[in-house]
Amino acid sequence: NEWSRRVQSLYHTSKLPSEYDLATSHLGYWTDHGAYYYGDSYGQLGVMNLSCCSLDKLKDAKSKLDAQGVPVKYMQLDDWWYYGRGPSQVDKNNWGGVKGVSHWQPPEEYFPGQLAGLSKAIEIPLLLYGPYFDPQNDWTGEYTFTPIDAGYVLPVPEQSYEFYSAVFDFGVNATTVTNDGNTGMIAYEIDFMDCLHHTPLFQLYPDKEEEWLFGINRAAAERGIVVQYCMTVSMNVMMALSL
C-alpha cells in the first residue's frame, strides 16, 4: 500500500525478486505446529522418536503431491527434527518454548544421510528452523553467548555475523547434494522473536538487538539465504526496513 511504499523509500528498502524467495512466492510443504507431519505432536517433548515423520514418510508425501500435480517448490522443517532442549528442560524455572538447537541434524536412525539424505530424496530445497540455541551446542567454546545461566542462548551481537556465517555454512553444506534442481538450504526461520526481544542485553541496550539482526542479515545475504522472522515485535519489522 501507499504507506508501506513511502516508508520503504525513506530507508531505501529493496525486495528480492520473487524467484529468489521461494518461501513467499511459491507453494511449500510445511511441518510447523498443526501440520500432519509435526514431530512434536506425536510424542513427548525432547524424545527423538521420529518414526512418525521420518525421511521415508516425507519422501512419500512429496511423491504423492508430485503425482497429483501439486507444485511444491520447497519443504520447511520446524522445531522437531534437530537435537536440543527446551528452556524449561535446561531449568524448570525457565519459559516453556520449543527446544533450542544443540546439534542441527536429525537422527540417522530416521533420516539416513541426515539432511543431505532428505534433500536428495525429495529433490527440492529446504527452509530450516533455528529459533535460538541450547546453552550446550555445537558451537559452544567457539563463540560467546548471551544470556548467562538461561535456558536458551544467542550469540553476543558483536559475534552475530561470524556465528551465523558458521551456522549457515553448516546448513548449506549439510543439505546440498548434486542432483539436478536441488539447491539445499535456501531459507532460515527465526522464531519466538517476541520472547527473544526480552533478552536482558537487548532490553538494556536496544541497539544490540539491531546489531544481532544486522549480523544475521549480512551472513544470509552473502550466501543467498532468505531469513524469515516469526512472532515478531514491531521493532523487528521496522528494523527490517534497513536490512
Digit-coded pLDDT (tens) for 150-196? 899 999 999 999 999 999 999 988 887 655 555 689 999 999 999 99
Q: Are 196 and 133 in contact (CB under 8 A)?
A: no
φ, ψ of residue 83 in degrees (nearest 5): -80, 140
With a cut of 60, say whether residue 46 has pLDDT above it: no
With a cut of 80, say whether residue 47 has pLDDT above it: no
Question: What is the residue-averaged pLDDT of the chain?
Answer: 89
With a cut of 70, say whether residue 115 has pLDDT above it: yes
Q: Are 144 and 132 in contact (CB under 8 A)?
A: no
Find residue 159's DSSP bridge partners: none
What does the pLDDT average to over 189-205? 95
Identify the weakest region by mean pLDDT among 12-21, 102-111, 192-201: 12-21
